[in-house]
């Protein structure tokens, strides 16, 4: 297991962690100021800056991009909606390429409005990823399926376990360096009794683990989306999960992604970055 104290360069800051306070340019400047060497970008923030300028800022600052958030959201009520989603996903792939991102993060999408057809939505996700993968391989951008917590199954992502994401990878792109893999976020996966086994399974295919995200599960949690905790403030044994991920061969960055409308989004972003760095060293 890696000694994080000796490897500050492994910390990546996801733009969502300070999304209420900073745009893309401020994020780049802030990370440089704090000696953070990688970021994860979000499409809306990149769009505000313009993708070319955003990419230049990243390059000039010497930052790595651990992931671009996010593609996905495949299911739609009709064929036109699915086509629109696929076109938008191709643009997201292009952005990830321009930014030099390790991968485009895919959040599956939930049920089309009014639908109760969970299996149908999951089929749409599989077909959507298959179609996008052809394009992404041409542009040489990896796609990372991020299973989301089951509480998002209806409205955000109907891929809710690492087993499901691994199954999709096995069906759509088996083998190493296939261009399709998974992003693991402790917040979404920590409760799963199959997690250790599924992380090992992901690790058996070289390169399938494309990202590792950390935050914490607060007790109580007061909002389904925007009440995530700073690492160390909740119930998740992050080092244990990290040990499984690294035993599976993952050697990439550890990305702090914290949606926190009640707390961290209200704080001075320089304080947020300082706390992230400290918690990265001490509790991850």
Binding site for a copy of itself (CB under 8 A): 111, 115-118, 122, 149-151, 153-155, 158, 160-161, 163-164, 190-193, 217, 219-222, 224, 234-237
3-state secondary structure of 260: strand
Structure token pair of residue 143: 């796609």
Q: Which is nearer to a copy of itself, 147 or 179 (CB)?
A: 147
- Greatest CA separation for the chain: 51
Residue 148 CB, nearest distance to a copy of itself (Å)? Answer: 10
Q: Whose Cβ is closer to a copy of itself: residue 41's or residue 122's?
A: 122
Q: How far is the CB of 100 from a copy of itself (least distance, A)?
A: 34
Q: Closer CB to a copy of itself, residue 16 or residue 111? A: 111
Q: Exposed, middle or buried: residue 80 (CB in 10 Å: 0-12, 13-18, 19+)?
A: exposed
Residue 165's contacts (CB-CB under 8 Å, 6 or more residues apart) are: 145, 146, 147, 159, 182
Residue 174 tokens, joined? 């088996």
The rounded distance, in Å, linking the Cα atoms of 254 and 249 is 14
Return the residue matching tokens 């590792």.
Answer: 212
Rounded Cα gap, residues 179 and 187, in angstroms: 24
Determine the angle formed by the axes of helices 24-33 and 51-61, rounding to 10 degrees.
0
* Smallest separation (angstroms) from a copy of itself to the CB of 279: 14
- Least separation in angstroms between CB 239 and a copy of itself: 9
Q: Cβ atoms within 10 A of the Cβ of 225, count?
A: 12
Cβ at position 236, least distance to a copy of itself in Å: 6
d(C-alpha 187, C-alpha 147), whole Å: 10
CB nearer to a copy of itself: give 62 or 220.
220
In whole angstroms, the minimum distance from the beta carbon of 175 to a copy of itself comes to 23
Closer CB to a copy of itself, 211 or 234, in the complex: 234
Residue with Cβ nearer a copy of itself (100 or 150)? 150
Q: Which is nearer to a copy of itself, 224 or 274 (CB)?
A: 224
Asked if 276 and 17 touch (Cβ cutoff 8 Å), the reply is yes
Quote the least distance from Cβ 183 to a copy of itself, whole Å: 18
SS3 assignment, position 39: strand
């Amino acid at each position: 297991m890696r000694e994080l104290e000796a490897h500050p360069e492994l910390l990546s800051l996801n733009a969502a962690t300070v999304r209420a306070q900073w745009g893309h340019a401020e994020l780049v400047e802030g990370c440089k100021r704090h000696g953070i060497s990688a970021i994860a970008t979000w499409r809306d923030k990149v769009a505000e800056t313009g993708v070319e300028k955003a990419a230049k800022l990243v390059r000039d600052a010497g930052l790595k991009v651990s992931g671009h958030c996010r593609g996905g959201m495949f299911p739609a009520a009709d064929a036109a909606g699915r086509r629109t989603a696929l076109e938008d996903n191709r643009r997201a792939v292009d952005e990830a390429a321009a930014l030099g991102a390790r991968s485009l993060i895919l959040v599956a999408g939930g049920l089309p409005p009014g639908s109760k057809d969970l299996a149908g939505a999951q089929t749409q996700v599989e077909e959507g990823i298959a179609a996008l993968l052809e394009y992404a391989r041409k542009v040489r951008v990896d796609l990372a399926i991020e299973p989301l917590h089951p509480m998002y199954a209806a409205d955000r992502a109907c891929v809710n376990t690492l087993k499901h994401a691994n199954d999709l990878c096995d069906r759509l792109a088996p083998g190493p360096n296939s261009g399709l893999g998974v992003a693991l976020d402790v917040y979404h996966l920590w409760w799963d009794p199959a997690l250790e086994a599924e992380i090992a399974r992901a690790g058996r295919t070289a390169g399938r683990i494309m990202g590792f995200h950390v935050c914490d599960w607060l007790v109580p949690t007061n909002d389904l989306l925007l009440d995530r905790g700073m690492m160390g403030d909740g119930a998740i044994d992050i080092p244990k999960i990290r040990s499984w991920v690294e035993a599976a061969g993952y050697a990439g960055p550890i990305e702090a992604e914290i949606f926190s409308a009640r707390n961290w989004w209200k704080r001075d972003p320089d304080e947020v970055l300082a706390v992230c760095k400290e918690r990265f060293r001490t509790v991850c």
